[in-house]
Structure 1
């Protein structure tokens, strides 16, 4: 691992790092905020949305004060592999910056687009090895839009690894929206049974049972009705008696103005669940 930058903030340190990834076969960037002290600190993962990288939340998220107060390490991976040798799509919702956090099985994507494995396994192992104050037995996960889909999906698939799950304006059912249908068909082929393994609503219907979910959604979000469809997640949770707290906010859009307003709430929500595990 190489440290690209390290800046003091709220008595802790904000790092930006890079490393050669085995999963993606590319150099990957990620950011880590570490509170002051020796720890051990639980880890909260943040997965970003379409067209974004680690930098968006790192620069706009306004999370460091809350993480410092609650004693939480905050890790933000990139949204996809990148580079001249990496396949790319013709639109912003496919290819670089748009991995949907899945392990692709179809050419030309499968060589590098192995982001589920990267987020579930490789990067947590690296963080645990390089940041000895990180307690990866206590991990939570959150994210925005495509990253909200990733947080829900990866959290639901790994209940023993990610103990708290939340999201901002998530794509709740990629099988049932234009962004998701295009990505899943390209990355995974035409078998919809394979798609269902990456769809949070389908995972819940098949028996995923998180203790609780926290979702924030802006009602002025331009993607709300066509792409995000929080009602589908609401219905899936109601049918299976999952404790879903879905907060709808008048006037808020899809931007980091929205995310930064409520990210402190999510950090506090995760801290209660992660710190209770110690």
Structure 2
């Protein structure tokens, strides 16, 4: 599979690069960013996949999270894909709402028209993108997942369903129970249809209750997050995790909101957490 370089920068002795490629899973051009730490010049390195939230693309985390210094120190590559397929033929919300369509792929495989033609983000993240990264970059087969909000939902659900493929999971402000919050209900109704039995496969609370987790999980949540009660519902995940024998930690951080100010404050902790398993 060929990739086209869009831009590159040197940062903390490593390289930040953006690429585009034709994706078979989404049937569109997809863009991703990768940070290669300086150690990658000598040997293959493990990789952390970062999944961003609603309205974001591959650039938000790379520009705002302040992750490069610690990732360079630890020798971890970071890959940040886009949050949805894009292009003139890609379906979008009729009213261009931020929580459906472009920038709101929810890391699932849509089954309903017109979304099913391109919105196959689950397959892209789980299968196609890792194969592409392994083909073109000096990475090992050790990989972990992290994400924010919708991307935290993606990291949790993908990691829980594919525990053989990952070493650890972390999330900031994740949508933990999308089948019971407005964002998730709206997205799942459109992408997956009205049969709510199909929704459970993309709900971290339901997956954790059904399967548990063999992977360590770290979650940070700000208690000043405006989406806390209505959309994110971390208490639901805490209740499920309490019934499971898993390596699980959810930290409530006083005074922090939903923004990248919050993420940048604790991203070093998350990178150090993943480094223990990578």
What is the number of residues matched between the two proteins?
272
Q: In the alignment, which residue of structure 2 is the partner of 1:26?
A: 28
Query: Structure 1: which 5+ runs fail to align?
Result: none
State the 1:127 CA deviation.
0.4
State the distance in 2 between where 1:211 and 1:161 align.
Answer: 10
Q: Which residue in 1 is equivalent to 2:16?
A: 14
Alignment gaps of 5+ in structure 2:
none
Give the whole-Å Cα distance in 2 for the aligned partners of 1:61 and 1:20.
27
Runs of at least 4 residues off by over 6 Å: none
Whole-angstrom distance in 1 between the partners of 2:47 and 2:215 = 18
Shift of 1:258: 0.3
Kindly indicate whether the alpha-carbon contact (under 8 Å) linking 1:237 and 1:243 is maintained by their aligned counterparts in 2. Answer: no
Rounded Cα–Cα distance in structure 2 between residues aligned with 1:176 and 1:39: 45
SS in 2 for 1:19: strand
What are the equivalent positions in structure 2 for 1:66-77 lying under 5 Å apart? 66-77=70-81
Contact 1:145 1:171 in 2 (8 A): yes
Matching residue of 1:254? 258
Deviation at 1:242, TM superposition (A): 2.1
**RMSD of equivalent CA atoms:** 0.8
1:56 aligned partner: 60
* Match 2:147 to one of 131, 143, 146: 143
Structure 1 window deviating more from structure 2 (189-198 vs 115-124): it is 189-198
Task: Give the TM-score taking structure 1 as reference length.
Answer: 0.96
State the partner residue of 2:42: 38
In 1, distance between residues paired with 2:86 and 2:99?
A: 14
Rounded Cα–Cα distance in structure 2 between residues aligned with 1:194 and 1:220: 33
Alpha-carbon distance between aligned partners in 2 of 1:111 and 1:85, rounded to the nearest angstrom: 10
Partner of 2:116: 110
- Worse overlay, 137-146 or 240-249: 240-249
Is residue 157–residue 208 contact of structure 1 (8 Å, CA) maintained in 2? no
Kindly state the Cα deviation for residue 69 of structure 1 after the two structures are TM-superposed.
0.5
Shift of 1:22: 0.4
Q: Does residue 1:167 correspond to 2:182, yes or no?
A: no
Q: Secondary structure at the match of 1:193?
A: helix
Kindly state the Cα deviation for residue 212 of structure 1 after the two structures are TM-superposed. 1.8
State whether residues 212 and 244 of structure 2, in contact with CA within 8 Å, keep that contact through their aligned partners in structure 1. no
Q: TM-score, normalised by structure 2?
A: 0.96
Q: Counterpart in 1 of 2:107?
A: 101
Cα deviation digits, residues 103-133 of structure 1 (max 9, x gap): 00000100000000000000000000010x1
